[in-house]
Amino acid sequence: MSIRHWPITERPREKLLNQGPQALSDAELIAIFLRTGVSGQNAIDLARQLLQDFGGLRGLLEADYERIAHTRGIGQAKYVLFQAALEIGRRYLYANLQRLDIMSHAQDACQYLQAKLASYQREVFACLYLDNRHRIIQFDELFHGSIASATVYPREVIKRALVHNAAAVIFAHNHPSGVAEPSQDDIELTKRLMNALEPLEIRVLDHIVVGSNEAVSMAARGLL
The pLDDT tens digits of the residues spanning 121-165 come to 889 999 999 999 898 899 999 998 764 455 888 999 999 999 999
User: Judging by DSSP bridges, how do beta strands 124-130 and 136-144 pair with one another?
Assistant: antiparallel
Residue 186: CB atoms within 10 A of its CB come to 18
Residue 16 has pLDDT above 70, yes or no: yes
Lowest mean pLDDT among 35-39, 97-101, 140-144, 214-218: 97-101
Crossing angle, helix 26-34 and helix 12-19, to 10 degrees? 120
Crossing angle, helix 154-163 and helix 184-197, to 10 degrees? 50
C-alpha dihedral, 125 to 54 to 73 to 76, nearest 10°: 10
pLDDT for the residue 146: 62
What does pTM read for this prediction?
0.70
- State the Cα–Cα distance between residues 130 and 114, nearest whole angstrom: 18
Of 58, 60, 51, nearest to 27 by C-alpha is 51
Give the percent of the chain with pLDDT over 90. Answer: 32
Of the pLDDT bands very low, low, confident and very high (cuts 50, 70, 90), residue 5 is low
Higher-confidence position of 201 and 224: 201
Residue 97 has pLDDT above 80, yes or no: no
- State the Cα–Cα distance between residues 194 and 224, nearest whole angstrom: 9
pLDDT for the residue 127: 94
